[in-house]
A and B are shown apart, each in its own frame.
Chain A
């Protein structure tokens, strides 16, 4: 059947058609929808893991048990999963195992732009790179064949344009003749003590060289001869930009980007006059082609930074640009926390207290934006607590009480709890605020071990964050209502002054939680235009529901959008003139 599917939907479909038994992931843009779509196939046991390392370990277990497994994450997630990955390369698999890395050129929603093709080379595993949704489906199925034929995990790399782009896909029926998983023992292969691993390293090298030879005959690597004066080696979405902008050029399209089909590259280079590599981010293919002694042009024409686009390709090849009107300077529209977000009050308070805020990855990273402007660092998932420990180790005594780490519920369970263990164990006195909104909010509200529900929406045990903090040794754990500014100020002041580790857990949910009874909307608020003095105090929380009307009143007045207001009450507490109140009272 024909359907328009996104790359992520097509991968999910491919997993189903390949007879996958287990899927595990931690949500991360742009990879999140892979698992969200796998849920449509009840044959697959799909679950959110607390982090990417655990997700991969679940996949490895399923594979060793003889079932096919798929594990998905965004590019930076592979950094977390790298430890098991490198040894998995040595053990190989039983049931096929596919690891998806969804890269994000242009950093549409990421903290760096790393090119994960290097991981395939570094970990010595084959990597496929699809260029549209049809290939996402086909390559997912192919990955399992390669995985089992060569006894190796396989990586599949997508980029944001592939993951979230939609194109027409032909689907087919799932395979039916896969062996039934059961316990199988083979310690020489699966126990990587040095003695065993040393032998396996030879197996790994042999496998990669076999694959490199066979790569020339894999139909996913193909030469398309057109005009021989210009030959372009390319892969992934770049292939389509090449076809769009340079339709006459001959192309070597690579579906397998590691190991490279060196014979095919030599053959292609011999057929064309000038050879180019068109690739996003790093000169991954280019450098290996140059190492063959073949003259090739690549990164001198295209940037190492950012996504490729048809326009950038045109510019790189010196083609005339389309006639375009110039961009004007217009008010920007950066993302903002939702109206009524429970984190706003905490950041407002931290800003007022001039705290040095060690931040983390999630919606609350937006606490960096003005007017809240209350975040001083943000590096990676779970890092805020460890970094707070580090900074108090070096700064003078009188500055130490200024340091506060903030972290979300999901992020705390991802890798934050390890930092907290270290903080207690090594006696680095700092304050940690767990912004518990009871869902993995930033990526679109995925369940996590503290939310009480699984990916399949079954009710389950939910981690007690308070007891968890106690269990790792925190003596002072308290709960705080983040929508009560006086309480925020009191609790945060007290805990910052404490020369010991303390944890504050906020107790209001994300306003977007859909499950009944978790988030309760309050009464709608209005500004009384007669009492409003135009002092602008309420604008300091940056709530999207509050608008400044410069033309009204003496100095202008504030106005609350009734459709956006969730009745969180934070703005009312900011108004010294009691101009803000519940709508029905006015």
Chain B
């Protein structure tokens, strides 16, 4: 077990299931024997605001938030929110983003435009970039709402954690009737 702490950020829009995904991540790391800290702000953000969840694991973790500019992995549920959070990352960080645009209020009412070309701009700065059609892959796995789990699978590839811990965390955190679909979605993501 290395001493270095791994810094993961999960970002997106309130209501996208980011909190559950970060709980599954934390659970996995704890099961794998690491110290884990997770932190996010919810409250106002439940009404469609931006959400940023911080998950850190290692042999000993102090700060519950990722120090600015030290994020190792960004796990984006929505494109604009992913782009907004790039300043939290260190150069060379891994970026995995769900190919989904949720227009914010000013875009909905036509006052501003949803910025174009964000995936390309992210790729230019962060070569380790993966854009995933989470919705479609989740639909292939049996339920479009399991997109989060597809993304989790894709992330799991980039972390040295044995697969059994991921499985156990999913079994603990996902409701029984949704487990089969989620395990399938996870496997699809992991194959990317």
Which residues of A are in contact with B by a Cβ distance under 8 Å? 2-4, 29-30, 108-109, 132, 160-161, 164-168, 237, 240-241, 243-245, 309-311, 314, 321-328, 330-338, 363, 366, 369, 371, 443-444, 536, 539, 542, 544, 546-548, 550, 556
Q: A392 vs B115: C-alpha distance in the bound complex, in angstroms?
A: 46
Q: What residues of chain B have their CB less than 8 Å away from a CB belonging to chain A? A: 13-14, 23, 26-27, 30, 35-50, 61-65, 67-70, 80-81, 83-84, 86-91, 103-110, 112-115, 125
Assess the A335–B23 pair: CB atoms within 8 A.
Answer: no
Q: Which residues of B contact A164 (CB under 8 A)?
A: 39-42
Partner of A334, one of B38, B91, B105, B115: B105
The answer to whether residues A336 and B47 also contact, given A4-B26, A168-B30 and a CB cut-off of 8 A, is yes
Q: Name the distance in Å between A288's Cβ and chain B's nearest Cβ.
A: 26
Q: For residue A338, which residues in chain B have a CB less than 8 angstroms away from its CB?
A: 47-48
5 closest pairs, A vs B, by CB?
A: A322-B69, A109-B43, A548-B110, A311-B68, A29-B43
A330 touches B80 (CB 8 A): yes
Inter-chain residue pair count (beta carbon < 8 A): 159
Q: Knowing that A323-B69, A333-B104 are A-B contacts, what are 6 other residue pairs whose CB atoms are under 8 Å apart, sorted by A's residue number?
A: A4-B26, A29-B44, A166-B38, A310-B68, A324-B87, A334-B49
Q: Specify the chain B residue showing the minimal Cβ separation from A369.
A: B105
A363 to B41, CA, bound (A): 17
Interface-centre pick from B44, B70, B88, B106 (highest chain A CB count, 10 A):
B44
Q: B62 — which chain A residues lie within 8 A by C-beta?
A: 240-241, 243-244
Contact of B36 among A30, A160, A166, A323 (CB under 8 A): A166
User: A132: which B residues are within 8 A, CB to CB?
Assistant: 37, 64
Task: Check B108–A165 contact: CB distance below 8 A.
Answer: no
Min CB distance, A162 to chain B, in Å? 8
Verify B105–A336 contact, CB threshold 8 A: yes
Q: Give complex CA distance A3, B90 in Å.
A: 30
Partner of B107, one of A2, A161, A326, A331: A331
Instruction: List residues of chain A with CB within 8 A of the CB of B89.
Output: 324-325
Pick the residue among B27, B44, B65 that contacts A161 (CB under 8 A). B65
- Contact A332 B38, beta carbon cutoff 8 Å: no
Taking CB atoms, residues of chain A closer than 8 Å to B125 are 325
On chain B, the residues within 8 Å of A337 by CB distance are: 47
Task: Name which residue of chain B comes closest to A166, CB basis.
Answer: B38
Please measure, in the bound complex, the distance between the C-alpha atom of A510 and the C-alpha atom of B52, giving whole angstroms. Answer: 26
Contact with B83, one of A240, A321, A330, A548 (Cβ below 8 angstroms): A330
Q: A161-B65, A244-B62 are known contacts. Are A333 and B105 too (CB-CB below 8 A)? A: yes
Whether the pair A309, B68 counts as a contact (CB closer than 8 A) is yes
B37 vs chain A, min Cβ distance (A): 5
Which of B44, B67, B113 contacts A244 (CB under 8 A)? B67
- CB<8 Å pairs between A and B, sample of 15: A4-B26, A109-B41, A167-B61, A240-B64, A241-B62, A326-B87, A331-B104, A334-B49, A334-B104, A334-B105, A335-B47, A338-B47, A366-B47, A539-B109, A542-B109
